[in-house]
Amino acid sequence: MAQKFMIGELARRTETKVQTIRYYEEIGVMPQAIRAANNRRLYDETHLERLTFIRHSRELGFSLDDIRNLLALSDQPDRPCNEVDAIARTHLDNVESKIASLQVLQEELNRMISHCSGGKVSDCRIIKVLADHSLCQGHE
């Protein structure tokens, strides 16, 4: 029988907050943990693997909903992996469009800041641009 450990150890080994693990159980991405006689949650290596998967996927920006689907798929090793691929590609698309729109923001912020003369608020280019969308790039 495998070694069991409590939530604190699982939290330490996965660098996850204890509350976060309980939250994952509550919303069903982690299974209901078996309880010891004193009502404390008991885990083994399979839980550690599952939580590692979840945390790594979160680091890569997948939503918990995506992760739920990825976990369900990884439990069915014989199915083709197109669905896994589709989830990852959709997420990549989202990441790419987020990068693109942040780069537009970045340019606009740079433009605003570089035009600021360091004088009084009444002359501040930043305030002017914020007040008037037409001063933005591409609107002159």
Which lies closer to DNA via its Cβ, residue 38 or residue 82?
38
Which lies closer to DNA via its Cβ, residue 16 or residue 112?
16
Per-residue binding letters, 48-77, with DNA (x by CB under 7 A): ----------x----xxx------------
- Structure-token match 């976060």, residue found: 20
Q: What backbone phi and psi angles, to 5 degrees, belong to 5?
A: -145, 165
Which lies closer to a second copy via its Cβ, residue 34 or residue 109?
109
| DSSP 8-state assignment for residue 72 | H
Is the separation of the CB atoms in 91 and 66 below 8 Å?
yes
> Euclidean distance between the first and final Cα of the chain, in Å?
72
Calpha distance 115→117 (Å, rounded): 6
| Residue ranges binding a second copy (CB under 8 A) | 49, 52-53, 56-57, 60-61, 70, 73-74, 76-82, 84-85, 88-89, 91-92, 95-96, 98-99, 102-103, 105-106, 108-110, 112-113, 116, 118-124, 126-127, 129-133
